[in-house]
Each structure stands twice: as structure tokens, then as C-alpha cells.
Amino acid sequence: MRGLILQATGSWYLARIDDEKVVECRLPGKFRLSEEEVTNPVAVGDIVHITMQSDGTGRIEHIEERKNRLLRKATHNRRGVQVIASNVDYVLIVQSLRQPVFKTGFIDRLLVCCEAHEIVPVIIINKTDLQISRKDASDLAEVEKLYTGLGYLFCKTSIFDEETVRSLGDLIKGKISVMTGHSGTGKTSLLNLLAPGLDLKTGDVSLFSNKGKHTTTFTRLVALSDDTYLIDTPGIREFGLVDLESYELSLYFPEMRTFRESCRFYNCTHRHEPGCSVKKAAEEEHIYPSRYRSYLHILDGIEND
């Protein structure tokens, strides 16, 4: 029997078999050490083969080859990497206009991860109902212009505007999407509207710090229809930048690709080298200042790793 992993908590897994049937599964020990650097052998989004046991639970016999996987460094000082989700079509980068205010640096970091993994990103600015000042409106217009100009999918939503949530639903139809973004930006709220009857817990944003409270504590995959799935996460800051060389980073900034070809050095980091076309393009604002800043910031992170 084939199943799709909806949840993975410790050594128990929930797998969706056809017809909405969900089975609790266990994993035999032999899978545990199959791949040394990975701390979890089965992740949300995996397709598994199951045999039913006499007590009504399932036993995972086989994991089908993954199309892709989102990795992050294992937490709690554990060595190795953790698979956040697998077989993903879209990464939804959910940010909010206010409460908390969106961060282009965060968006850029995730875009690099998507580019490196060849997964299509969708930038979502939620809470567009919170346009209070004229600056909010111009900030929103500016961020939309920036990312649509780079060719990325971009979507504005508000949970108080049904139409916007419906367009998001149309956009992700037939795909497996994973939601990322800071706590409190409205990931779970959007999911609840896209999957009526679900009613997952959402949390308030502290008025004092303007931060969310990490209401969602584990990753879960929800079926919106037979062929559309959405994965809610407790927030992913980045994934899979594990082995990137510093001179490769600019490959994942689409607007830098043509400029980098004409840098003097093939391994130019575009920071201070002579004859650097990327730096020149940034100075002349052919590259957006905020994007170049993000680039330098991520580069620092790679080099100090």
C-alpha cells in the first residue's frame, strides 16, 4: 500500500492512504542509519510503502525516491542535517505587510535556497488590510515591483479578503507547497481558509514586540484536494545552503548572472575585487540596492560558517 507522509513526530508517522484514510505508522530500525548525515529518515511529503499490522498500524517498508528535499542543519547541537519536507513543488514565502513588517533580507535568503534547489518560490505578502499609512501602500508597491520585475511569482493576500485567498488557492492548485515565514505572518490562518473545516490553532502577535509566538510547533501536510497539498511549518529561516561556495552565490541571484560573466576573476565574490561587473552594476543601480545588500549579507554568512 502506498501512503503520503502527513506528519512525522519522533518514531511515529501519519500516512495518508487513498480515500482520506490516515494510518499511524512505525519505521523499522533498519532505516535509521541508512544515510549518515541525515537525522530523520522519513519526512513530510515522502511517499512510502506500508504493510498493515494486526493492531491496525502500518509498518513502513520502503521510501520512494524523492524528487527533492528541503534540508536544514539539525537543531539542538545535533550533528548532521534534517529533512524538513520532500517532493515539494512550491515554497511559499509568507510575509506580512505589518505585524510583523516584511523583511526583504529574509525573502532574498529563501529565494537563494529555492534557486539552489530548483524549487519555484512564491512570495506572499499577507495582511494587506493593514495599510494604515501612505508609506505602507508605497512599500507594498515597491516590493511587488522588485520581485515581479525579477520574474518571481508574487501574491498579495488578506484573510479578510476572500478573493485574494481564492487567487492564492488557484495558484497552488495541483502542487505540493510548503509555507515558510516568520511567526505571526499568517501561515496557519491562510491554511485554515484554504482548507475549510481544518481549524488549526493560530496565535496572536504581541503588540509589544510585533512578533508572533510560534503557535505552530511541528510540520504538517494538509490535503486541500486530491492533488493539492499544503505544508505548514513552524517557520523556516533557510534551507539547504549547506555546501555553497562563496563564488557560486551570485548564480542564485538571477539579475547578477549576466553581469558576473564579465567579472575579471572567475571566482569573483563581487565584494571588493577589481574589474567586478556586478559591483559596478549595483553602484549604477541596475541591481536593486536591497538585493545587493542581501547578497553581501548571505556571503558573509557563508564565509564565516
Ligand X SMILES: Nc1nc2c(ncn2[C@@H]2O[C@H](COP(=O)(O)OP(=O)(O)OP(=O)(O)O)[C@@H](O)[C@H]2O)c(=O)[nH]1
Q: Which residues bind Mg ion (CB under 5 A)?
A: 187-188, 215-216
Alpha helix positions (H), the chain: 104-117, 134-149, 162-171, 187-194, 257-260, 277-283, 289-303
* Strand positions, DSSP E, 27-150: 47-52, 58-63, 69-73, 81-86, 90-96, 120-126
Q: Residue 270 binds which one of Zn ion, ligand X, Mg ion, none, with CB within 5 to 8 A depending on kind?
A: Zn ion
Which one of 127, 220, 260, 291 is in contact with ligand X (CB under 6 A)? 127
Backbone angles phi, psi at 155, to 5 degrees: -145, 130
Name which of residues 221 to 240 contact ligand X (CB under 6 A). 234-235
Contact between 190 and Zn ion by CB under 5 A: the answer reads: no
Which one of 86, 95, 104, 189 is in contact with ligand X (CB under 6 A)? 189
Whether residue 40 contacts residue 74, with contact meaning beta carbons closer than 8 Å, is answered with: no
Comparing CA positions, the residue from 121, 196, 123, 190 lying closest to residue 161 is 190
**Cα–Cα distance for residue pair 194/93, rounded to 1 Å:** 16
Q: Residue 263 binds which one of Mg ion, ligand X, Zn ion, none, with CB within 5 to 8 A depending on kind?
A: Zn ion
* Closest distance of CB 112 from Zn ion, Å: 17
Nearer to ligand X, 58 or 184 (CB): 184
Which one of 86, 104, 158, 277 is in contact with ligand X (CB under 6 A)? 158
* Closest distance of CB 160 from ligand X, Å: 6
One-letter identity of residue 97:
L
Give the 3-state secondary structure of residue 177. Answer: strand
Contact between 278 and Zn ion by CB under 5 A: the answer reads: yes
- Residues lying near Zn ion in the complex (CB under 5 A) are found at 263, 268, 270, 276, 278
- Residues lying near ligand X in the complex (CB under 6 A) are found at 126-127, 129-130, 158-160, 181, 183-189, 202-205, 212-216, 234-235
